[in-house]
Chain A
Amino acid sequence: DAGVIQSPRHEVTEMGQEVTLRCKPISGHNSLFWYRQTMMRGLELLIYFNNNVPIDDSGMPEDRFSAKMPNASFSTLKIQPSEPRDSAVYFCASSSRRGYTFGSGTRLTVV
């Protein structure tokens, strides 16, 4: 099992550009989560899906952020337009009854 796979590992982009983060959950896991980690705010839950359906997106900071899960094996988190304050590490996690597994994260830097 390759675990939760996130891409890219690092992303540096200019302010105003669109950024797309990708996540492949563990096969058979029916829930998927997007978290953002910063020094100031720690780990914040942005959105989570159950069986590909968004259940709770109350953590999405603003309309510039959007997330999709078109099928059970793929999810994206998009920021358009990006701003320097979006700089953070974004983690994807998936879960089943056996537990949660986190990906290695995408370190996003917006300059």
Chain B
Amino acid sequence: AQSVSQHNHHVILSEAASLELGCNYSYGGTVNLFWYVQYPGQHLQLLLKYFSGDPLVKGIKGFEAEFIKSKFSFNLRKPSVQWSDTAEYFCAVNPNGGNTGKLIFGQGTTLQVKP
């Protein structure tokens, strides 16, 4: 079945550690890819998105993600996490491309950063 998979369900890091969250999708054709963050008790906010061009995408708050088409992956990275990055992170795919149409989300990864 077509889906979005996030490999890590719960990640615990110390401040200043590096972060990489995995995301794989199983849709073929042109897709657009997104990472969202949800801070406790809040709504989803866009971290970054990939539509085309440079496969290394830079987002807000020092986050970046790399699109590897051959691996159907869009992993999120941050070189040095902060306590304030504690949140839930969602990878999402628009299987039809564009900024309209439905977004399919992965299960989410809970990141806990210890001060």
Contact = CB atoms under 8 A, between A and B. Distances in A.
A100 B99 contact: yes
B107 to A, nearest CB: 4
A56 B105 contact: no
B contact face: mostly helix, strand, loop, or mixed: loop
Interface residues of B, number: 19
A102 B90 CA distance: 13
Contact of A43 (B49, B100, B101, B105): B105
A contact face: mostly helix, strand, loop, or mixed: strand
Contacts of B34: 100
Given A102-B44, A104-B43, A42 B99 contact: no
Interface in A27-51: 30-31, 33, 35, 42-43, 45, 48, 50
B13 interface: no
18 contacts: A33-B103, A35-B105, A42-B105, A43-B90, A43-B105, A43-B108, A45-B104, A48-B102, A91-B43, A93-B44, A95-B99, A95-B100, A97-B99, A97-B100, A100-B46, A100-B103, A104-B43, A105-B43
